[in-house]
Structure formats: C-alpha cells, structure tokens
Amino acid sequence: MKQLFLLVFLNESGRIPISIYLPLFLIEKFNSPYILVGLALTLSTSASALFQMIGGILADSLGRKRTILLSAGVRIFTLSGLTIISIVGSSVGAFLALYISTEALNGLFQTATSAMVADLVEPRKRVEAYGIYHISINVAFTLGALVGGFPIAFTLLFVFWLLCMIADVMIVVPYLKESRGGSRSRFSLWSLVAGVKDRHLLAFGLVTLGAGLVANQMGPTLVLYATGSLGVTREQLGILYTLNGALVILLQYPISRLLLRYSYSKTLAVASILRAAGFLMIAGLSGFGLLQVVIVALTLGEILQTPTGASYAAVLATETNRGEYLGFYNWMWSSGMALSPIVGSYFLSILAPSAFRAWYVISLIGVACSVVYMWLGNVTRKRLPRLAGIL
C-alpha cells in the first residue's frame, strides 16, 4: 500500500499545478477567450472520465499493474510534447490535443489505482483506506497549489510533471506488487454500459454525475468568478487551494474513521448539503476574506464524498467486476466534473453583470443531489438486504 500511495502522490504532484492554473496559462500564453477555456477544460475532463471507465475494464482484463504502467509510460511522451509547446508557444490546438490525451491516460491510472485499494482492503475499512488515498492526493494538491501560485514560469511546471511521470514508471516496474492479475477476458466496449445492466449502479451513477458537476464549480468557475468579479489575485488563489489541501491532510483520516459508523447514503447526502451551503455563501461575498470560510465548507463536503463514493460503488460489485464498477462510478463523477466548466462559465455569462446569481442555481442542484442520495439509499437497502448495514 505504501508504494501505491507514493505512486498516487507523484502522479498528482505533477498534474495538479497545471490543472489548477491552466485557465490562466491559456489566457496568458495564447490569449484564449473564456469560452475556449471552458470548452478545453470540459473536453479534457470528459476524456479523463471516459478513460476512467475504460481503465476499469482494462484493470479487470489486463491487471491493475499493467494498466498503471501503460498510463504512466505513454504519458512520458505526451508530456514531452507539452513541455516543448509550453516553451515555443507554437499552437494552442496542438497544446490542447496533447493535454487532452494526457488527461485521458490519467483516467486509466485513476481507476486502476482505485481498484487496487479495493482489492487490498476489506469492505468495512474501505472508507478509511480511500481516505488515506485521498490524503496522498491532497498532500500533492496542497504543494501544487502553493507552488503554482508563485510567479514562476509555467514551463517549469511542465518539466516537473514530466519528471514525476518518469519517477512513477521507476516505482511501478520493480516495486509495485500486483493486487489482482488480469482475468484473460477480452476487452469489450459493451462493458462501458455496465451501469445500464445494474440499475442500482446506474441510479447511483446518475446522481453522482450531478454531484460531480456541483463539486467542480470549486475549480475553473470559482477561479474565473473570483478573479473577474471579486478581484482575487493568482497568489490569493494559491492560498485558497493550499487551505483546501491542508484541511484534507489534517481532517481526512480522523473523519474517515468516524464515518465507519454511518451509512454511505447519509454521508453522501451531507456532503452535497455542505457544498450547496458553501456555494450559496459565495453569492454574498465582495472580496477575498470570507472565501476562506467557503473553502472550509466545500472541503468538508469533499472529505465526505471522495472515500464514500468509491466505497459505495465497490460494495455493489463482485470481485471479478470491481474495476468495471469503480470505472463506471469514476466515469459518472468525472463526467459531471467535465460538464462543470462549460456549465459554470455559461451561467456566469448569461447572468452577467449579476453573475453572483449563478451560485444560487449551483446551490439548488447540490440540494437536489442530497435529497436523491437519501432516497436512493433507502430504496437500495430494501432491495439489497445484504447491504442494509452499509448503504
């Protein structure tokens, strides 16, 4: 497990500084309009979402370790191209094509590592294990937000990302042990619709799509609103995202331990309410100060959602299709996140000059997700009595 968490930490250490500040990079380097920024982020997250599903299928058929190695190995080449373009600034089209490809390959990595956690930990302790997994990501997030907020060249961030991928490959090959080898079953695109075959997973996936759409408003939409309407600087954004990461590092493990006594559906419902409350507060802000309070509410929602959502999907699955089910969950979650930049930027555009009203709409979606999570938990417990004490 230690090697796995180190692998995840290095993976996120490289990509997070770029993913947080990519909107500013596109605007500063290529003079990109807001709508292109939103479209680029939507396409990259959509590609990652789709390949998270594909990654689950590959993890079941090829094995976890081979899928991780495939993802990290190919990204060395795409990141080399991104580093060159970040220096010469030749074409925004070429840059976005390579960036979207890199994020798609990252989707394979995310599901394969998530499935490996489920393989190694018994169901009752998975929330705790995924909490530690999330801490690994957020240690990287905190450092990445802090470093990215410094006035340094974006090119250096791409070089660092490339070095992290090389380090990942050097860890995977000799040190990472396989948790479950391939099933030798043929890869089939039909497995992409696994959620349609299992109505419980399908229903959970659909509400998770809405939750992902709301959760990722903390990313590009908040960046655009905070810098455009509240006058927040890049350095202040770095402080906000560093606060987010630091809170996860400090609180994720004790809260994950506490969550072992609560049902998954109730935890997910509370997570959605916390995010809804946080985004509602943004509508009444006029500066940087109280944004820190908002970040606390959003972070608590993140701490509850991340380990519990993956645990919910894993407990619905059997041992042979665990990667597929986690892949479907990741697909739905990331599809919601993929929609968030274009939806958020659209709300900000059509509601201008009263852009703060966009947060009312986003908050209402969060409340709706909370209600559906509670309803879904009640229905699923009745139809699957074996999970009554968990869901």
Name the pLDDT band for 98 (thresholds 50, 70, 90): very high
Instruction: Over range 206-233, report the average pLDDT.
Output: 87
Can you give the pLDDT at residue 269? 95
Q: Which residue has the higher pLDDT, 26 or 374?
A: 374
Identity of the amino acid at 131:
G
**Is the pLDDT at 276 greater than 90, yes or no?**
yes
Can you give the pLDDT at residue 330? 85
How far apart, in Å, are the Cα atoms of 104 and each of 78, 110, 211, 334?
Answer: 11, 10, 21, 11
**Is the pLDDT at 243 greater than 60, yes or no?**
yes
Helix axes 358-383, 199-215, angle to 10 degrees: 160
Instruction: Over range 184-198, report the average pLDDT.
Output: 61
Can you give the pLDDT at residue 191? 59
**Is the pLDDT at 78 greater than 60, yes or no?**
yes
**Is the pLDDT at 150 greater than 90, yes or no?**
no
The answer to whether 172 and 68 have CB atoms below 8 angstroms apart is yes
d(CA 323, CA 327) in angstroms, rounded, equals 6
Instruction: Over range 216-230, report the average pLDDT.
Output: 83
- At the topology level, CATH places domain 2-176+194-387 in Growth Hormone; Chain: A; (1.20.1250)
Name the pLDDT band for 275 (thresholds 50, 70, 90): very high
Over residues 25-70, the pLDDT tens digits come to: 787 777 777 778 778 877 888 888 889 888 888 888 888 889 999 9
Q: Is 229 exposed, middle or buried (0-12, 13-18, 19+ CB in 10 A)?
A: middle
**Is the pLDDT at 234 greater than 80, yes or no?**
no
Q: Which residues pair with 63 in a beta bridge?
A: 181
Can you give the pLDDT at residue 363? 93
Residue whose structure tokens are 């709301």: 214
**Is the pLDDT at 151 greater than 60, yes or no?**
no
The answer to whether 89 and 29 have CB atoms below 8 angstroms apart is yes
Name the pLDDT band for 297 (thresholds 50, 70, 90): very high
**Is the pLDDT at 187 greater than 80, yes or no?**
no
The answer to whether 236 and 288 have CB atoms below 8 angstroms apart is yes
Name the pLDDT band for 195 (thresholds 50, 70, 90): low
The answer to which of 162-171, 218-227, 295-304 has the lowest mean pLDDT is: 218-227
**Is the pLDDT at 238 greater than 80, yes or no?**
no
Can you give the pLDDT at residue 144? 72
Q: Which residue has the higher pLDDT, 59 or 368?
A: 368
Identity of the amino acid at 97:
A
Can you give the pLDDT at residue 325? 87
**Is the pLDDT at 145 greater than 70, yes or no?**
no
pTM for this prediction:
0.79
C-alpha 153: how far from chain center: 25
**Is the pLDDT at 327 greater than 60, yes or no?**
yes
What percentage of the chain reaches a pLDDT higher than 70? Answer: 93
Name the pLDDT band for 166 (thresholds 50, 70, 90): very high
> Average pLDDT, whole number, for the chain?
84
Can you give the pLDDT at residue 374? 93
